[in-house]
Amino acid sequence: MSYDIDPEVLPWLDMLPQFDMTSNEAVTFARSQQSELAHLMPTYEPVNQIDVRDETVPGPSGAPDVRVRVYRRAGTENPVPGLVYIHGGGFIVGSVDMFDAHALKIIDELDVVIVSVDYRLAPEHPFPAPVEDCYAALVWTAAKADELGIDPARLGVGGESAGGGLAAGTVLLARDRGGPALSFQYLGIPELDDRLDTDSMRDYVDTPLWNRPNAIYSWTAYLGTEPGGDDVSPYAAPARATDLAGLPPAFVTVCQYDPLRDEGMEYARRLAHAGVATELRLYPATFHGTALVESAAITRRMFSDEIDALRRGLKVTESP
């Protein structure tokens, strides 16, 4: 299938690693390629002095502790908004290290505290381990708000790709378990629906970086069984949730040539229909992972939109 990809992005396609994540062996190789992907990312030197530290927080009951990485501007005295951030990687690859540059860029733009979660990965740790790790990190963040310099009334959860799906699941857990209270959710190109039955998921079998074959294995690894069954939890696949009322305001992004496009759009529609203040951005001529090409105009717009959404959603009051 041919795709009318943004001409500024097109020359980069041959330089981006083409992850085959359709078996355990392929995932092992993809994890080894993470360093290659990191080398493609430009290094970022923040304008502001930013304190970065790793913490170990209590994990879910009976499970190991969870590593998180905390980012905060040095010298900030008053409480600021907090964002629990969940990295992407199809539930099976990725780490907080891959998010470092992006976190520094966000905090250069916005005076917030970011708590980035190094959750356990499938297939070694299938559902509910990853989303429970993320929820445990959220509970810790809320409990330590004073120590972290976070205003608990301005606490959000966000993530991209599988991280967007885990963010949506974490938000559902927070609502259904009675807290922590959240003011915002950022769902970037989210992976939400194990049923794999949208037009974009059926048709996009060979799109760059992410496609239907990868998605099938991703969900199989995460669920520990064949996707699309009758008893899949909405905390694993938030598109399965029958009630989306009472969730915090949402900002949802999707890319045109992404198998995840339609499930993100449908989730945004259902959030809005449930009375949740929701914004949706569909970026034309893009694919899953376009944001890796930071020099393109469309990518700069994507980042600008993310910053503006976080500023509004977290009620950031100070200028950088």
Please give the positions annotated as active site: 161, 258, 288
Residue type, 218: S
Alpha carbons 161 and 19: distance in angstroms, whole number? 15
Give, for 56, the enclosing helix (H) or strand (E).
strand 50-57
118: burial class by Cβ within 10 Å (0-12, 13-18, 19+)? buried
Neighbours of 58 (CB within 10 A): 14
Question: Nearest to residue 298, comparing CAs of 280, 311, 285?
Answer: 285
Distance CA 204, CA 132 (A): 30
Of the candidates 30, 106, 18, the residue with the CA atom closest to the CA atom of residue 288: 18
Residue pair 135/158 in contact (Cβ under 8 Å)? The answer is no
Q: Which tokens belong to 6?
A: 């943004």
Distance CA(219)–CA(223), nearest Å, equals 6
Apex CA 37: angle with CA 32 and CA 42, to 5°? Answer: 145
